[in-house]
Structure 1
């Protein structure tokens, strides 16, 4: 058999093999797409701000979507974490209030919900020269990774509010650690830092076990609060405003929530009233520095 004849037969055999493999390759691609869609559907939909207890599921860090650095004016597009002011030596392991002798307060937000409402809230704060602290839920960052840089680029502070926002006080030590470390992994991947503060989910105060697991995950300080206007119940902007202004005092740390229209609507009037009282809204780190 000539060399040309052998080359023709070999090419024919290769074409036949590729043709036969085509349906199989297409079927594998469809199976992968179906599996990916099922996984996405299973993880869709943020939990309620006060979700009931359950068993946490830790997603692997390599499934965390990357975020494009924001080009917000005045923000950093480098992706490097911002420098935090040093805390006062007297800062306790769990902070409930800041110093009462300085005209500063901290507005802290549960980071979850509609990103449009979250962005509107940040914009309202920035328009009034206020800086806030956002304790994010890790599963929200999986869905809205761009919000991490948006918060930092607005001059605000990021902290950890667990991966799934379950009842952390009822968990075993290892479960609690997985919830804290899971959110920390997402913060580190998206911003280069795990943040300074951890706030327990579904609880005002951290138990001794939760504090221990927070330290294990890299958090020396838990962030509590002394004023809760219960905006998560959607009582309306006027009620939220009245509850905040009726209870706030120098050093107060206020617990609020993103993703609620009433909170967004109340914020401008709250900030204007604080300015009239000579109180400045700063980050939790600034409050405790």
Structure 2
């Protein structure tokens, strides 16, 4: 074979490779031309005991200029999204205590909350009066929600808060420990946002009640809360207070 013949064969082979590549590109599924990296794994922090603090955590250190805004995760997911966006615009991190049935209906919100740097915890499966339940039923309320969180995030969630009560009964606190939550997350400031006080009244309540180390009880699902949050965060900023996750509050 002459040098000219070899050049002709190589050029033809190269043409076949190029044609094959083009054919594969044209017939590949959408997105195959430039493979995208997989989303980062979703792993929630696991519960840990806060040394030197009681079984019920009502507030964090008073000498640090931090507060924890904790939200009961239930209700219209659109208000949840609105609260998260409002917080993120102002650099605030929140703690969400999710109801298991709410996670069943809105599973994507587990990733949404964690990927934005917020805490995610357990607020029982059905949001009933857990302190009034028989032991077996109360245990199921905790463990069923924990199972949802583990399935969605790889963890049972960072915190447990009882439903329909500021504090857990001794029996519920014990059941929570047995489920993997060393301490119960309570609060020292109740916003009462679920009573519909109006944004201005809600803002005043929180401005008056919050001090360094406070853990604040708030709720998804209420328009007043969405409307008040920017002013609440502005007030914290003026006072030199930073809204952090509960994990950060105790770190």
Give the TM-score range, shorter chain.
0.7 to 0.9
1:248-274 CA distances to partner (integer Å, 9 max, x unpaired)?
100110000001111001000110110
* Number of the residue aligned with 1:44: none
TM-score where L is the length of structure 1? 0.71
In 2, Cα distance between the equivalents of 1:101 and 1:86? 22
Q: Which runs of 5+ in 2 are unaligned?
A: 1-37
* Number of the residue aligned with 1:196: 158
1:130-154 CA distances to partner (integer Å, 9 max, x unpaired)?
0000000000011111111111111
Work out which of the residue numbers 264, 273, 276 in structure 1 matches 2:226. Answer: 264
Asked if 1:79 is matched to 2:41, the reply is yes
The offset of 1:213, in angstroms, is: 0.6
Asked if 1:276 is matched to 2:250, the reply is no
* Number of the residue aligned with 1:127: 89
C-alpha spacing 1:86/1:142, structure 2 compared with 1 (3 Å): closer
Question: Matched residue of 1:255: which SS?
Answer: strand
Asked if 1:143 is matched to 2:105, the reply is yes
**Contact 1:177 1:216 survives alignment (8 Å):** no
**Contact 1:79 1:192 survives alignment (8 Å):** no
**Contact 1:84 1:285 survives alignment (8 Å):** no
In 1, Cα distance between the equivalents of 2:60 and 2:162? 18
In 1, Cα distance between the equivalents of 2:222 and 2:106? 16
TM-score where L is the length of structure 2? 0.82
The offset of 1:87, in angstroms, is: 5.9
Question: Matched residue of 1:151: which SS?
Answer: helix
The offset of 1:84, in angstroms, is: 6.7
**Contact 2:99 2:126 survives alignment (8 Å):** yes
The offset of 1:285, in angstroms, is: 1.1
Return 82-91 or 190-199, whichever deviates more. 82-91
Question: Matched residue of 1:110: which SS?
Answer: strand
The offset of 1:80, in angstroms, is: 2.7
Q: Which has the larger radius of gyration?
A: 2
